[in-house]
Structure 1
Amino acid sequence: MSTYVVVGAGLTGAAAAWQLARRGHEVTVLERSTPANARGSSHGSARILRYGYADPFYARLVAEARTEWDELESLAGERLVTRTGSLDFGPARDPAALASVFTEVGVDHELLTAAAAAARWPQFDFGTGDVLWHPAAGVVDAAAAVSAMLRLARTCGARVESGRPVTSIERAGAGHRAVCAGGRTEEAERVIVTAGGWLPGLLPGLPLPATFLAAFPPLQVMQENAYHFPYRDAPPEPWPTFIHDTPEILVYGLPGGRDAALPDGRSGQKIAEFNGGRPLPDATAQTGEIDPANRDRITAYVRRTLPGLVPEPYAETTCLFTNTPTEDFVIDGTDGITIASPCSGHGAKFAPLLGRMIADTSTGEHPPPPRFRVTA
């Protein structure tokens, strides 16, 4: 068995640490702040788990990930995914094409007219065109999932160190040394870097071959905005998640969970524009400030499209997306260092599966999918 340092304790790092520790490896997780903290990409209780991908590769991957979520929930003894179903609509979403993918992959679904969908979900204004419904979709409790995976990792012997920001990785004999702010170090045979929005700042200084670094896809960190809108009437059951794509705007929404609970314990619907935020050089440049123009745009969208919500946000937050140009993930490495950047704004739903892929890659048991590799 090998010794590992995992840099970062968000969803990806927690999943990788758990999957390695359960195989008997010695694992130390170094987290710059606290696991799933609000400055990263894995905080809060509301991330969409959906099957709606135009690419069958990702739709199949969701089905595979759902099995991993089931196992994680069983081992953790808690519910981490709440089933709500999901709606896809809008001319740029092409629900009919998504339905064809669902048929190919074997995902239960209904393709409805806008009128039929409006009769079932009057809280939406679907406009014209088809609406796709798939009932197996839901909401992932991101922070609880991080906590559960780290707890299971600790049970298998892993150490999780908070307040340990890694500034660089150095060669140390046959292994590596992670250097933290303040000069503290941690040595291991192998390193996994799951640093999210901090990866662009770390990557150039890693002891990796120049050819690998040159081939690494450029990363664009986005400070995204999300808003919580109150329901006009208390819903008898959770709203479905949704993705509405038009030539003008791509919006997603989901029940907000604990992220913005009201005094009576209820929460509103979380609404955001996909990649509608501000580009950053890396996570260190984030301000946590909401873009007023984006707030106005989303409020106008809610007023126009979601009659079941009061078009006045009662809470708002920011979050980081770390995008590759293709929105594919990166899982690859060499010389004992594995880099994992599975975000691009849609990685949360795959977390336990990605942890297994990262563990397989770093141990050499199985290569990652070719499209996740940096070099062929």
Structure 2
Amino acid sequence: MKFFTQFFKKNKEITVSAIELDDWIIENMKEYFSEEYKSIKETVKQVNKTKKEIVAKLEKLENAKLVNPNLPEREVQMMEGNKDNYRLKTLQFLDKIEIPKDYLALDEFCNEFEEILTDFNEKTMRAYSILRNYFRNEMQEISMSLKKMETLQLNLFNFMKEDSIVNLKTILIKIKELNDNIVMSNKIHKEIKDLETNFEKEKEKQDKIDKKIKDLMKSPNYNKLKNYNNKKKEIQEDILNLTKKFVRKIKPFEKPFKKYVHDTKKHAGYIENPMQALEKDYQFSILVSLEKIQKNLESYNLKDNVIKKIKESSINKEFLKDLRKDYLALKEEKNKIIEKENQINVMQDFKELEYQKEHNEKKILSLKNSISDKKHLINIIQIDNKKKKLEEKLSNIIENQFFINLE
């Protein structure tokens, strides 16, 4: 394939900006395609000329006289109606035949012409058949001009299938794709720049938040909070030990106690949270239930060693009373510490900073992911690769080094 090679000096470097490339291609190929364009231009002239011929022949049909002037009035009315309809449809058909000024778009016009012609033939078939009976010569002349129009359209279609035209269109399509990708790439690059600016701003904001947290952690009030928190952990550990102590004591009753709770719907809280249940059970009514279980051990199908442990159980009112008293004392101590914590303003400041830090970290991560996604899109577009392929194609065509400037 050799395009307009003869119009360029050998060993010459040519650089054209991407945005001007399609105009440059068309301008520099005019001479190379002079014969093709000349043929197309002549055919287009013939199409327009034929359109005028058909209009003139329609006028001739309009003024044509009947060979037999003595036809019945009804038949004449029918004939006139078909003549008016045929003339209107034909003029509408001609109005739709608009040849594009850009000859490279002619193949689209040719495809549309086929559809328009098919529609025209379907809508005028009956009227044409009727009118041939009255105006054979006039209808034959119109038919010949329409066939000529169809032939001219076919010639245009064949011109568009010429290798040189097809190759030119292919190049122009590739140029448009490149320019579209450049526009998209520039847009994405701007978005990346904006995202990176926001990313840096959020990073700076995060650094400031971290510094505030660090400074806050050095303050005397924060150390107080730290001590209070350690004390709360100690109290919580003591509460846990009390709970374990209670659970160990009541462990032998586990199987019969669960069945008892299921049957009586009483003391379910002791299964879910023993210490909270004991706190509410200030009358120690659980002892009554445990006593009932001890009196009916045979009904629970227990092993001998379990029965022995239940009988030897030392759970009594004094044990539960002391356990409850210790638990309430620990709970009260913990609540007092919480009250002291709430009186220190630094706690609210610390929570607010922690919230800001968490919120800001999410924003930073989101921005980071967005930047990564945009950069991935840039890689998918591959402008440099498409530019290089187009440069190689054009360099081969003109047998000179061809470069595309993206700026």
Tell whether the structures are fold-level matches, with TM greater than 0.5. Answer: no
Structure with max Cα Rg: 2
Q: What TM-score, normalized to structure 1?
A: 0.17
Q: What TM-score, normalized to structure 2?
A: 0.16
Structure number with the higher strand fraction is: 1
Report which structure shows greater RCO (CA 8 Å, sep ≥6). 2
